[in-house]
Structure 1
């Protein structure tokens, strides 16, 4: 299968069939590795299927001086037809093929003889001549084949030719146009990698895609080179011998000074972040650049003063062709040049070292943290591993390898590589593992296996072994406590949090601000107060100029239950973009789900589905099983709200099945919330109440299970509608006493509406108050739900006109969200109040036609073609049809239309 070459395959198929619009030659050109040979192979197969006999010749550079060598390959299979030619042509072919002695025939005679033989053979069966690497044809063969091509008069003989675009070839000089093979699109490149290397981690696949720039050979060879090189991804990728030969051809002919300059440029990152003047303070000079520019290897950007390589893999080739001693020497000079830049100096010192060196290892360890805070997570991991390699003491080496394993799994998405590194992180046989190793192992257990209990035991035991209070700047301890908070969140059990708070008090009595925020705002917001909101807002404001993916995601996570993730959208997108470039992929996953959470509460459900699906795909590819749970919850909530009930219920079941044996109460709460939301729009309040109360019993806000905060309104609505008014009132009191309504505008809307539902006296004033509150319109789904229950109350209180106003607004909001089940409930209430559906439930003629065609299984594109519409218009019609029919998916169209017909 040739990915991304559909257009070229179509051209060759028509050419092989003898389509009249083609001339006698179809010529493809492209850069080395563009897939020309694979394309010719496919063309040969197509020609044989079209009934043609295929003759092949591959030109070789070392045979360029062999007279008629390539023509010999073409004509040799046809020698059985030699007696049918006249004597002059017969003798010329016999000499070319080595059957008879004599001097090589003149080019004109050779061309005429070849034409005569090919025409004779094609009279019995059409021919396809396939010529690869045309620029390497020996001159005599090239002239003879060009002679044949220019004199063919029908489609019985055709030539399929490939040539490198940077080299001249005889067919272009003879006037035949070349079809240039473009690089593969990003989508085709990704499909090729996924097909050939399905186990390749997503961040590695992205990096390969970026470096290969759509070159098929590079896409196929780079994974093999990476598999043979266990080092983490750094500035240049390792190359196979074939790729090195391909991209190094021009480099070997450069003067020594030019190659030295290019090596300095690559190792210094001059083409990314340095001007050439800075780089050429090295022993080489700027004049040495000219040969590389003339060879088309680099160009100088006149605006930035930085170099641009013609292809990213040329950078790798520069490094591959250098000797290790040359690289160490260059790094030593660069370390001196960057003596005022601690990060770069430490990096180059580490690369220039030839043996263990604790001073350099210590510098690299410190720089690793700086690089992480600066957003360069990939190099941070590489620096820590290099520090481990340079560590003379085994204990230091083990600790640093463990830290690299933690960074890899926690930040860069290399969870599956963690166990191998942790094996190398073992200290002396009788020594205890470092806190860094325990933290990495606990993170691995939690996010890979979902084993919160084992992760907690490991962390508590390691923290108990530490001496008394430590400095809050002790990074390993802080990371261990952050991991303990994550364990407590997913476990959702009070005893886990009791151990966590015991460790806080014993090990770090003065918690860092971010850890303190996560403990309260994220771990148990019901025990927070308004001061938490101000501290959280200050932390969110501080993200404006932050590049640290760990800090950005942790602050945004702390904001999750207080509906403030929206204030971190821009920093979160920076993290996502970095992950898509192959950087902090694990943080990219978390950021995608955080953006999805903000999209859920703000009614941007199309965005939710896109970002959450992206995150879930990464989780599946990289093995982040538990990390996927929030994404699966959000996707199920959107599916439930939009009427994809079977899908949502199955997702809830899977969450529950995964949570039960591991006793992960938070995942069970996710499942209960989804199922509660499935029941409410259909009036199944008894079942909805059971699901909501399973998360937090009525009248309480379950400690250390923050999901209870999000279910207050759901529980109160289900309780009041199922006749549990006293229970509902008790739950409202618990929420009000906890001050939930003061923690965010959205919680204020929902807690206020819950209070109105349970207030028999002033309910109208209270509903009016919460709906008029500033910012209520920012939460369209929640606001519409409040309008719905308010309208229902008004109708039951015999105020139909006021009820209709609220219910009509709810119908419009639900339809804008494509929340079909909720729109159906609101429409039923509106009709009961004597109102008319503002959107109407009658299908327009156009909508009816689109619906009937969609019910037959046609795609939007196929429907658009039949009705002379755009696919977007078809999609718009269907988005209006679904709520009118009271359905949430295309699969329900046929039954809904049948019911309407009857």
Structure 2
């Protein structure tokens, strides 16, 4: 190999990623797309993104790029805000007034944005408005690509904002994120599981190291197409593990001989040696500047670098020019200089001797101390690394407090965990930091690490007895959120309550959590003593906010199990609160009551509670309460037949609240039930599978029971008796374990039908009696109507169905009333079929018309006019929808009660009218 190279900073061509790039350029410019690119440091994520953005089809779009930083100050949405700053000087299409919420974060765009809205007064509500404002702006800039790099360093706000955008992106927006999975908390890039909505293309690329052949091509490209031997490529691959960045940096350090390729060593050492080689010919001032940049850890300006390096700014500028020419540092953004890659920064930092590093960290503290506002996170980190323990503790806690204030719990929890790891902290500081950690973590996304830290603190002898109960309660609140840990959470909270004898307010809050009846599979008998304890505390409680908070849990839990005294004794419930906190708790109380009324069948009262509760929640700025109320409203609309646009509304809300278990599972239940009425079996199974049926111990119990009922109804409709039987038995097992038969209003009738279909008549009768005994003396109008349906199934007496129909109609449960009317052998099947059509229950309508045909009665036509021309007829619309769900002709025939031949003809007409050449194209 020749000894003289003209080495490049990086390869002039993309190597080993052509397939990935082809996938991206064929999708991103053409439709709304979510791209997630993961891979270890130096693997080529940024290079792939750069190639994508440089492609002509993408370059014509508006491109916004933001970077997450490893050592960042608290600033929610930082990477996205950085990306939006590039819009300065452009024009926005019309945006709504909510976009003005971005003015404080983006003063550069003040001329483009509406006036800032009035403050809401609640940080959660303000945050939600900011999310909406960002979506408004992105929707208004035309076709665009938003890129966020290094998501592993993102704040919670950025993750929340990206989840919000990616759940329902504007039609003209694609989102591209890059991250290192190994550095993610919980290994979830967005903090929670994510799945793109149906109308958005989703691409997940996992970049792997290059193989030997790709390393050879890369080396040849960097060496300006000098021939590279197989032996050299093998050695290079062996020593760099095929990581492109390491290949590039190592080749830059070589100067012409394969013989100089080092023996096998760790990659960071290779990089250190490569940078030492590159710096060898530069003057001392350049060394001092690059060392200062490595210690600072974030891109910095000339002034700051010169102070840390201890040289004057003019010499610092000259040194930066030399370093940039050598490819050591780069201008990451205007007048800010740093390293091209974190591995490069780490390699230089690791090359410094300990005393030199300490002196540079001390210089960094002096340089940063006068900055306004002070960069507390950086000051804390430099103090820690310089061995200034007192300053590290002070700055670290101040930075955590600042992060909490601005809504950046990720920074706060990370700092508090590291502070608690310090040895020899006095008890007072351990108490304070541990309680802060628990409180802050509850508002954040990262639960696993704070849980581990709090668990460790509880065994720390430095923690005082007085603080131990509060820390344990905070730990229990976090455990409730973790899958599979409800039992552990209950044990933890129970122990905390015992330790909080001197804090009756906190003990009562713990008891209220343990008394919540509708979470998990804990038997009702274990909840009731805790509810009684809350009631006893309320007699003497003189703190309004605490009182209202406890009432929200107590009343909602009692009403959900059919306590007949709750609705008759609400005179003591105030209609207004003096403080914002009191009003939020009152809103929660009313919305909890609305949810419980929906569960037991008090639909009129549910609507009243929802109206007042949502108004209170909006006024008090409580978006979480609003979110739960909106999902309750969706379930209420399902029961009362308000189905117009319900599927679209529920799907939109699910995209917005996918990470909130109580909301997402309830919306999934309704979407699954609606899909059943249309015969969309795959969609129904998918949605109902997310209601908690696979993990009842972690579910909202009435929703999971509803999921079992829906799945059983689906399998029964497909004549799959074994599957229906299995689901029914699992659902009944959960009901019996909980001991709350009020929640079986949807499950009991389909369970009886399944038992009868399998010949288990005696078991069906026994179940009906068990159901009747379980709801006796309960306030349970929906379950009472369902009991009449069960008795109709057992006796085949139409009078029981007529009683059920009357009871359902009295509740305004119109779909259930229609089902009971059909089972009562109504003579007005044509009108019932038409009503099902109007409602949107197309499979039910088809069943009624099939029943009419089987009786020899002509089924009424749905044509409405003589011909549809190139438009799809109602039947063709049904067929097209089911084809798009992936159903075969035979399956569609079974759903719509038609012959396969008739369906085949309908499919042919649909394809012809829509100009599709295949079923798969129609599905797309």
Q: TM-score range by the shorter chain?
A: 0.3 to 0.5
Q: Tell me which of the two structures has the higher relative contact order, counting C-alpha pairs closer than 8 angstroms and 6 or more residues apart.
A: 2
Larger radius of gyration: 1
TM-score between both structures, scaled by the size of structure 1? 0.48
